Amino acid sequence: MAITDNPLLPGRYRVHVDIFDYTGSKLLDSWNDAVEFAVRSPRGEIGQGLIDLPVEITFD
């Protein structure tokens, strides 16, 4: 995964993933803490917070 336009502030982040069916109403799978990563500022600052980055992935 690549975030080309990074909207994140410095901090540690954990990714939670939910996969739904095509209607968006039936949960097919869920991963808590699928990956953890850090965003650092040029000065090395790091903070804490919560952000929601919804994404839609389509497989052909």
d(CA 7, CA 27): 27
pLDDT attached to residue 40:
74
Task: Answer yes or no: are the C-beta atoms of 15 and 36 closer than 8 Å.
Answer: yes
For 52, half-sphere exposure in the C-beta direction (CA atoms, 13 angstrom radius) is: 2
Which residues make Cβ contacts (< 8 Å) with residue 50, sequence separation at least 6?
none
pTM, rounded to two decimals: 0.49
pLDDT in tens, 19-52: 889 898 999 999 888 888 877 766 666 666 666 6
